[in-house]
Amino acid sequence: MEHGKSGPSSWPEMADVVPVPQDDGPSPVVPIAYRDDFREVMDYFRALYCAGERSPRALRLTNEAIELNPANYTVWHFRRLILEALDSDLQEEINFIEKIAECNPKNYQIWHHKRWLAEKLGPGVANREHEFTMKILALDAKNYHAWSHRQWVLQALGGWESELQYCNQLLEEDIFNNSAWNQRYLVITRSPLLGGLMAMRDSEVDFTIEAILANPRNESPWKYLKGLYRGENNLLVADERISDVCLKVLKKDWSCVFALGLLLDLLRLGLQPSDELKAALESTRHYDPEMADDDFATTVCCILQKYDPLRINYWSWYKSTLSS
C-alpha cells in the first residue's frame, strides 16, 4: 500500500471489504486528526478483525498496521491468530519482528510477540535470541525488556554456557552496570552448569571485593555481596572478608554510606568489633571510649545520619530500634 493514499484503489485486494470506521461516539470532544493512510488501514483492519478472517491478505494488513503503530496490542494479537491459522513459517516471522524491534527496542508488544515465537520454535532458537538481545544491549546496556527476555530464554530454552563470561565482559566495560550485576546473580544461582550459589560463593566474594575496592562508591557490588549470603546471616558475619572490606574502605573514607550500611548490618547481626575497628572509630566525633560493645551499631547510625542526610529520618528510626 502506498502511504498517503486512501480508498479501495490504493489496495485492490480489499475491494470486496467494507471498511469499518472508528466509532468515537456521536459528539467526540477532541477528535484525533489521523492521517489518511492510517485511517484507511485501521478501517480495513477492523473489518477483517470483526469478520475473523485468517488469510494472507489479513496478515499483510497487519504488516501495514504495525508499521504505522507498532504498539497496537490488538493488531499483534490478531497477527498471532493468523500465523497459527495459516501455519506460517515462523523463522520468517523472526526476521520480521527483529527488524521492528531494532527500531522500537522498548515496545512491550514486540517483546511479547518475540517470546511467543521463541516458545513456538523451542530451544533451537536460544542462541539466536541471545545474539539479538546482545545486539540491543550493546545500544542500551540497561534495556529492561531485553534483559527480561534474555533471562526468560535462559531459563526456558537454555544457553547458559557463556553467560557468566558475557557478564564479565559487560562489567569490564562498565563496572557500574547494575543490570549486569543482576544478571550475574541470576547466573550463579540458576545456571545448571555452575553448581549453585554454595559452589560459587567463595570466588564470587573475592571478585566482588575487588570491584568494591576499585570503586567503593559503586552501590551494585555492595548489594551483590550481601546477596551472596541471602538467608545465611551467620555465614555473612563469620566471613572476615566482609568486615575487612568495610574497614578498608572506611579507613580511607568514613563518608561511604555503603560500607557504613553493611557494617551496621554486621553489628546488628552479632559481629563483635575488633580492636582495629574500635581504633578506627576513635577518629570519629561520635566515638565514646566508655561505650559497651553493643553500642557500636548506635555509633554507626550516628555517622550515617551525618553522611546520608537524605535518609536521616530512617537512620534515626533505625537507631531507636537498636535501643529498644
Catalytic residues: 106
DSSP-derived secondary structure letter, 11: S
Residue 153's SS3 state is helix
b/e code 272-300 from CB counts within 10 Å (16+ = b): ebeeebeebbeeeeebeeeeeeeebbbbb
Helices (H), the chain: 36-51, 56-68, 73-86, 90-103, 108-121, 126-139, 144-157, 163-173, 178-190, 197-214, 219-227, 233-238, 240-252, 257-268, 275-281, 296-307, 312-323
Contact 124, 95 (CB under 8 A): no
Distances (CA, A) of 86 to 62, 99, 139: 14, 22, 35
Q: If you search the block for the grid coordinates 560493645, which residue do you land on? A: 293
What residues contact 91, with CB distance under 8 A and at least 6 apart?
A: 121
> Rounded CA gap, 238 and 278, in Å?
18
Q: Which residue type is seen at 277? A: L
Report the candidate in 59, 146, 72 with the shortest Cα–Cα distance to residue 102. Answer: 146
Report the candidate in 19, 13, 11 with the shortest Cα–Cα distance to residue 47. Answer: 19
287: left (phi over 0), alpha (psi -120 to 50) or beta: beta
